[in-house]
Amino acid sequence: MAIKNPFKRQLTMAPRLQRLSGLSLFAGLTRGELRIIDGMLHQRDYLDGEVVFDEGEEGQALYIILEGAIEIRRQLSEEGVVLSVLKGGAFFGDMALLDAAPRSAQARAASSCSLAVFFREDFLGLMDTHARIASKISLQIARQMGARVRQSAGERSPVRQQL
Amino acid sequence: MSASTTYSTDSAILLRRSVRQDAGPFVWAVILVATCVLLLVFQKMLWLVVPMLLGLILYYLLVGFLSPLIYWGRTRESAAAIVMGSFLLVTAGLVLAAVPWVVDHLGDWQALVLRYFDGGLHWILETLRWLESSFSFLRNAGFAEKMSQRMTSGSGDVVSHVEVVLMGAAVWAPSLLLSPFLAFFFLRDGHAFNRFLSHAVPNAFFERTLALMHEIDQTLRAYFVGLIKLTVLDTVSLGLGLWLLGFPGPWVLGLICAVFAWIPYVGSILGGLLVVLVAATDFPTQPTMAYWAIALFGFVRLLDDFVYMPMTIGKSLHMHPLITVVMIFAGGAIAGISGLMLVLPVLGVVMVIGTAVGQIVTDERLMARHRFARELRRSMAARDLRGPK
């Protein structure tokens, strides 16, 4: 009888690999590159209302939504204010990949959800071992940040405010 | 500044404060006691601890070759098998190539060990005689005479000592064969084991646990890989110095002394004594050679402290020097030579775990989040359960 490897369940994640290939963060990565990334990701399940990370907490990882929705909130009042709601395929906490600065907002599950977690030190290690993969991911993060800046500038523009 | 901004800033500062708190005296006491207990346990199971450590060193040396193979389409299992298989093939090739040479020289080496042992004893005897001729109060003690008598009565013991060493090596050999086996499983399943461990951690502590596991990995890697690099640098420096001085077998001597240096403080002294012993045997009429050898050791020790150590092991363990020295002595007292060798990496890992666990347990916010998540899970599990109407 073959001996069952207790860690095998964690090792075989081909469906997740397929799902990863469709995410904007990993756009442009080859199959081999995705396999490297898949080996680095952790998967976590959160219940509706559960806090993923707090505002002000030291950021250690980037999160990718595989299923469900996440609220990004700021504690501007006692109850907190929802800044945005992210759905499957989106990623958040990306600033943590670039520096260890405190989180600028709180992330909380808006429904039961499944997240892939990309640990900062794994990403930094990737820069040494696979600079090509790291640069592709960095480009996607930079694009996301650019989009956020444009969106925020658009919201503040006088013309938009008049509209 | 608006009230809402003030609220946000205050809560953020509070949260940040709760995130990083240095370990207090209680945590440090637990760390030191846990290290001593672990050393005591490790001493009782050295047959497993030593191969584990060697396996870990091998893992850190080979793990860099795994990633390119995975990148080129291999699974982790096959990549680990290829890397370890290649390593074993190269090692087996080197061993096979060395066997005829070792067999040819085995008799010479036994004679060499006996010769150096004899030479060392005579050097000590000559030094004592010289001291007695120089200082009258030593002449009355008659150390040289007593030493000479002991040498005459115990001359047959040298062979038995060598036999004991060889038998010890034969007993340890099967246990050491475990090292490549363990290294292979570290390579193949180490990553999955990390995931397996982190999977068991509640969501609230997950990021902190990832950071903790990374820090443990970095501490061990920095220490063991640094130790190997330091050994190479020491071997080259000592070998070169001994070769320039005209010592026989300078590179082997350098390597032995560099390996001795794995035992903090005591190892360097042992290495120095070994070289002095060789100098006294091979150059009995040139006492200056022994002094040159001592000077070389002093110089390499300085190089170690000011150049090599910062380049290799560096401050990888981030420990206060006083704690390091006290723990080295404690390790020696608790577990002998094995304690001396193991105390620093064990203390390093226990310190990382102790500090991180101390931070998590005292972090009110994390604990509150954990309690909240547990309540959510409980209510979710009991959602469709109703009592009798």
User: What is the complex's ipTM, to 2 decimals?
Assistant: 0.80
Q: What's the rounded Cα separation, in Å, for the pair B85 and B56?
A: 17
Q: A66 near A115, Cβ under 8 Å?
A: yes
Task: Tell me how far CA of residue B124 lies from CA of B76, B117, B147, B206, B247, in angstroms.
Answer: 57, 11, 9, 61, 19
Contact B7 A77 (CB under 8 A): yes
In Å, how far from its chain's centre is CA B112? Answer: 30
Contact B12 A55 (CB under 8 A): yes
Q: What's the rounded Cα separation, in Å, for the pair B179 and B174?
A: 10
Contact A52 B191 (CB under 8 A): no
Which is higher by pLDDT, A153 or A117?
A117
> How many separate domains does chain B show?
1
At B1 the pLDDT is 38
DSSP state of A139: H
Nearest Cα neighbor of A48 from B297, B319, B380 is B380
Helix (H) or strand (E) holding B360: helix B321-361
Chain A residues interacting with chain B (CB cutoff of 8 angstroms): 5-8, 10-11, 31-33, 35-36, 39, 42, 44, 46-58, 60-61, 74-78, 102, 117, 119, 121, 129-130
Contact A60 B211 (CB under 8 A): yes
Handedness of CA B198, B202, B207, B208 (dihedral sign): negative
Q: Is residue B174 part of a domain?
A: no
Helix (H) or strand (E) holding B220: helix B206-245
Strands A113-119 and A61-67: antiparallel
B chain contacts of residue A101, beta-carbon cutoff 8 Å: none
Contact B376 A50 (CB under 8 A): yes
Domain harbouring A118, CATH code: 2.60.120.10
Task: Tell me how far CA of residue B190 lies from CA of A121, B187, B217, in angstroms.
Answer: 17, 6, 11
In DSSP notation, A52-116 reads: EE-TTSBP-EEEEEEES-EEEEE-SSSS-EEEEEE-TT-EE-THHHH--PBPSSEEEESSSEEEE
Q: B177 near B55, Cβ under 8 Å?
A: no
At A157 the pLDDT is 61
Q: B17 near A54, Cβ under 8 Å?
A: no
Handedness of CA B33, B34, B35, B36 (dihedral sign): positive
Coil vs helix vs strand at A119 = strand
Contact A11 B373 (CB under 8 A): no
Which pair of structure tokens corresponds to residue A74? 């700021």
Q: What's the rounded Cα separation, in Å, for the pair A154 and B175?
A: 68
pLDDT digits (tens, 9 = 90+) for A136-159: 999 998 988 888 888 877 766 655
Q: Return the residue in A51, A129, A130 with the most chain B beta carbons within 10 A, the one to mutate for interface testing.
A: A51
DSSP state of A4: P
- Bridge partner list, A45: A114
Please give the residue range of the domain that contains residue B248.
Answer: 21-48+189-374
Supply angle C-alpha B294, B302, B250, rounded to 5: 45
In DSSP notation, B255-318 reads: HHHHHHTTSTTHHHHHHHHHHHHHHHHH-TT-HHHHHHHHHHHHHHHHHIIIIIHHHTTTTTT-
DSSP state of B385: -
Which pair of structure tokens corresponds to residue B183? 């290294």
At B162 the pLDDT is 62
Residue in B12, B207, B372 nearest the CB of A56: B12
Q: What is the dihedral of CA B67, B69, B75, B78, to 10 degrees?
A: -110
Q: What's the rounded Cα separation, in Å, for the pair B298 and B306?
A: 12
A chain contacts of residue B219, beta-carbon cutoff 8 Å: none
pTM of the entire predicted model: 0.72
Identity of residue B232: V
Q: What's the rounded Cα separation, in Å, for the pair B167 and B158?
A: 14
Q: B341 near B270, Cβ under 8 Å?
A: no
At B9 the pLDDT is 41
> How many separate domains does chain A show?
1
pLDDT higher than 60, residue A8: no
Q: Is residue A157 part of a domain?
A: no
- Bridge partner list, A67: A114
Q: B15 near A54, Cβ under 8 Å?
A: yes
pLDDT one digit per residue (tens) for chain B, 389 residues: 344 434 344 444 444 444 445 667 888 888 889 999 999 898 888 888 888 888 888 998 898 888 788 777 788 889 999 999 999 999 999 999 988 888 887 777 777 777 777 777 777 777 777 777 777 766 766 667 776 776 666 555 556 666 666 676 677 777 778 888 999 999 998 888 888 888 889 999 998 888 888 888 888 888 888 888 888 999 999 899 988 988 877 888 888 888 888 776 677 778 888 888 888 787 877 778 878 888 888 888 788 777 777 677 655 566 677 777 788 888 888 888 778 878 888 888 888 888 888 888 888 889 999 999 999 999 888 877 876 66
Q: Is residue B193 part of a domain?
A: yes
Please give the residue range of the domain that contains residue A81.
Answer: 17-150
Q: B280 near B116, Cβ under 8 Å?
A: no
Contact A39 B70 (CB under 8 A): yes
Coil vs helix vs strand at A46 = strand
Q: What letters, b where the CB count within 10 A reaches 16 and e where it falls short, cover A95-133?
A: bbbbeeebbebbbbbbebbbbbbbbbbbbeebeeebeeb
Q: Is residue B36 part of a domain?
A: yes
At B14 the pLDDT is 41
Q: Is residue B273 part of a domain?
A: yes
Q: B133 near B144, Cβ under 8 Å?
A: no
A chain contacts of residue B4, beta-carbon cutoff 8 Å: 76-77
Residue in A48, A61, A75 nearest the CB of B11: A75
pLDDT higher than 70, residue A19: yes
Helix (H) or strand (E) holding A42: strand A42-46
Q: What is the dihedral of CA B38, B41, B43, B48, to 10 degrees?
A: -100
Which of A2-6, A38-42, B101-105 has the least mean pLDDT? Answer: A2-6
Residue of B nearest to A39 (CA): B191
Contact B373 A47 (CB under 8 A): yes
Q: Is residue A108 part of a domain?
A: yes
Side-chain half-sphere of B283: how many Cα atoms within 13 Å?
Answer: 16
Q: Is residue B113 part of a domain?
A: no
Beta-carbon contacts of B175 under 8 Å, excluding residues fewer than 6 positions away, are: B47, B48, B50, B51
Q: Is residue A162 part of a domain?
A: no
Closest Cα of chain B to A4: distance in Å? 13
At A10 the pLDDT is 45
Q: Return the residue in A8, A36, A57, A129 with the most chain B beta carbons within 10 A, the one to mutate for interface testing.
A: A57
Averaged over A126-144, what is the pLDDT?
Answer: 88
Helix (H) or strand (E) holding B19: helix B3-19
Q: What's the rounded Cα separation, in Å, for the pair B66 and B195?
A: 18
Q: Is residue B352 part of a domain?
A: yes
Contact A51 B208 (CB under 8 A): no
